[in-house]
Copies of this chain bind each other. A is one copy, B any other.
Amino acid sequence: MAERPDGAPVEVGVGFELPVLLFGGFRSIIGALHDELAEHGHPDMSPAYGYALQAVGRGGSTASEIGRRLGVSKQAAGKTVEKLEGLGYVERVDDPQDGRRKLVRLSPRGLDMLVRSAEGFDRLRAEWMRVLGAERVRAMEADLRTMAAADAFRLDMAAWFNG
């Protein structure tokens, strides 16, 4: 096998598999979660809407702030909030502290979605630990924390992908 000056092995032609596997793992988890959500009262939830609801957060937020988190304009965020409101996941109320703002809050349905998601993620991680062993999963998480750039954890996935 080829080697770099520092002795690290360089396997040629297989590097493309790593990102494919990382995204495959991500997609499997998100896909399984959404299958589960669809079976429990949330059939119209997509990964894109899931990200948006995460951007709203349990404490609520405003359209402008959601736009910043999602990497889109406040106008686009406002339209997304309208959709989520139409689907019953959020509700908007006037901010008594600030006459300009309208607070976007999770509705009971939206909160149910977030709670079910958290439970589902825990369940899926436990399943990975059952199959691979707890240490292997923790090692994977630790290694990814080491290698992933800090700015890779933003919620602006759709905006990022299309460049």
| Residues of the B chain whose Cβ atoms lie less than 8 Å from the Cβ of A46 | 161-163
A160 touches B27 (CB 8 A): yes
B163 touches A47 (CB 8 A): yes
- Oligomeric state, in number of copies? 2
User: A129-143 CB contact bits vs B (8 Å, 1 = yes)?
Assistant: 111101011011101
| Residues of the B chain whose Cβ atoms lie less than 8 Å from the Cβ of A17 | 141
Interface SS of chain A: helix, strand, loop or mixed?
A: helix
| Residues of the B chain whose Cβ atoms lie less than 8 Å from the Cβ of A23 | 22-23, 26, 152, 157
Partner pick for A25 among B4, B6, B122, B148, CB 8 A cutoff? B148
- A97 interfacial by beta-carbon distance below 8 Å: no
CB distance from A148 to the nearest CB of B (A): 4
Q: A143-B132, A148-B24, A149-B28 are in contact. Are A18 and B137 (CB under 8 A)?
A: yes
- A93 interfacial by beta-carbon distance below 8 Å: no
B152 touches A24 (CB 8 A): yes
Q: Please give me the residue from chain B that is nearest to A17 by CB atom.
A: B141
Q: A9-B134, A47-B163 are in contact. Are A26 and B22 (CB under 8 A)?
A: yes
Nearest 3 A/B pairs, CB to CB: A46-B163, A15-B121, A24-B148
- A87 interfacial by beta-carbon distance below 8 Å: no
